[in-house]
Structure 1
């Protein structure tokens, strides 16, 4: 089943590698704060470590916004530990890397490449109520940009706390927003 805007994250239980330990993670961990669930195809690959390294480099900025990041692939939590221990880039990661060897979480979010048993490059921004606010899926060869994701999270948080306002294209924190109304029709 594909996840879509406004849908609630489905139940799951998994083991993650986080800060040198194996920890249990469920959909309940996503509630009460903003979360980014960041699917990637596989450990020990090529585009994936560049994306995860970029998130690691921007992790403090996400944390300042009260956002936790969860990296997910169909690898095991043991593979995540091995990758963390052998890659300088992955060794920087402070967020949980969830193992999904059965593909349940990947399928729940609708990003499983069935014939390969791998995840698409799916990004999901989830609000504190556990509802999806942003969905983005990239082709396998196209890496994502943490700074653009950070901008989108800020926009989602702004809209959530400012009913009646929307963020236009290229909006950045502190810039003008729009208040849709009859007066704006045909004037933008």
Structure 2
């Protein structure tokens, strides 16, 4: 019964892997077919754990920026298409905001890439600190970021006003001074 339950639990790839305490105890017995089966199940569980971790890592590398941990261009493109489809089906307006860091190349060239990377990470932290429902933020690459706002309103003017209010909130969030390696940086 224990072995059957263990096999069944391993077959459900969407569930958390079981801890297999009873199977572990069986695997420690001296000999016998149940011991060999228990050892095989433990090996299979460990391999399944490695497979799931690798799958998660591949997904993360494919869809998230490694520097900022924000969604990357690929995931943002997919979300934008989904957003457009949803807006059309629900007859609501959304918005797309494109952000580009002014003078980023100057900062990178004069202060070094490490400092530029640190600045991008701080920008990403400020973006993720905005807890607004219906928005998705990502890094497109370099010093470019994108914000997608879903479901603003069904009326065009109301949606535009909400998008403008969010853009102003975004500007207030991103405009204070950044401190990178004891240097202050102001972005306009």
TM-score by length of 2: 0.24
- Higher CA-based Rg: 2
Report which of the two has the higher share of helix.
2
Q: Which has the higher contact order (CA 8 A, sep 6+)?
A: 1
